[in-house]
Amino acid sequence: MKDVHRLEPTSANPGEDTVSAVWERFVQGEDHVSGVRPEVAISWHGCRGQYRVDPHLSEAPVAVAEIDHTLEHDVVSTDVGGLAASVVRESDGFAGIVAVVDATGRILASWGDRTALTRASDSDLAPWYCWSECAAGTNSRGTALEAYGPVVIRGAEHRCQAFHDSVCAGIAVRDVLTREPITVLNVSCWRTQLPRAAGGWLAHAVTKTRGTLRRRARDSGAELVAAHTQAGARSTAALAAVDTAGRVVIADETASVLMGVPAPAPAVDPTARWNPGLPESIRAARYASRQAARNPDRVGFAVEGVSGAPGAGHLSL
Q: Please tell me the predicted confidence (pLDDT) of residue 302.
A: 47
Percent of the chain predicted with pLDDT > 90: 60
Q: Give the residue, 222 or 236, on which the prediction is more confident.
A: 222
Rounded CA-CA distance 35/33 in Å is: 6
Q: What's the whole-number mean pLDDT along residues 166-175?
A: 96
Tell me the pLDDT tens digit for each residue of 225-262: 999 999 888 888 888 888 988 899 999 988 888 888 88
pLDDT at site 15: 66
What span, in angstroms and rounded, lies between the C-alpha atoms of 225 and 217? 12
What is the bridge-based pairing of β-strands 151-154 and 107-112? Answer: unpaired
Report the run of H or E that residue 169 belongs to, with start and end.
strand 166-174
pLDDT band at 12 (very low <50, low <70, confident <90, very high): very low
- Distance from first CA to last CA of the chain, Å, rounded? 35
Cα–Cα distance for residue pair 52/58, rounded to 1 Å: 15
What global pTM score does this model have? 0.84
Does residue 50 surpass a pLDDT of 50? Answer: yes
At residue 179 the predicted structure's pLDDT band, cuts being 50, 70 and 90, is: very high
For 275-294, b/e burial (b = at least 16 CB within 10 A) is ebebebbbebbeebbeeeee
pLDDT tens digits for range 184-199: 999 999 999 999 999 9
Tell me, rounded to whole angstroms, the distance of Cα 22 from its chain centroid: 29
Q: Which domains does the chain have, with CATH numbers?
A: 2-214 (3.30.450.40), 235-316 (no CATH)
d(CA 183, CA 105): 8
Q: What is the reported pLDDT for 155?
A: 96
Indicate the pLDDT class of residue 90, thresholds 50, 70 and 90.
confident
* Preceding amide of 9 cis, omega within 30: yes
Long-range contacts of 98-101 (CB under 8 A, 24+ apart): 98/185, 98/186, 98/187, 98/188, 98/201, 99/125, 99/141, 99/185, 99/186, 99/188, 100/183, 100/184, 100/185, 100/186, 101/131, 101/141, 101/144, 101/145, 101/170, 101/183, 101/184, 101/185, 101/186
Residue 181, classed as helix, strand or coil, is strand
d(CA 206, CA 176): 11
Question: Residue 117: pLDDT above 80?
Answer: yes
DSSP of 264-282: S----SGGG-B----HHHH
Calpha distance 165→93 (Å, rounded)? 19
What pLDDT is attached to residue 300?
Answer: 55
Using CA atoms, how far residue 2 sits from 29, 74, 233, in Å, is 37, 27, 48
Per-residue pLDDT at 145: 97
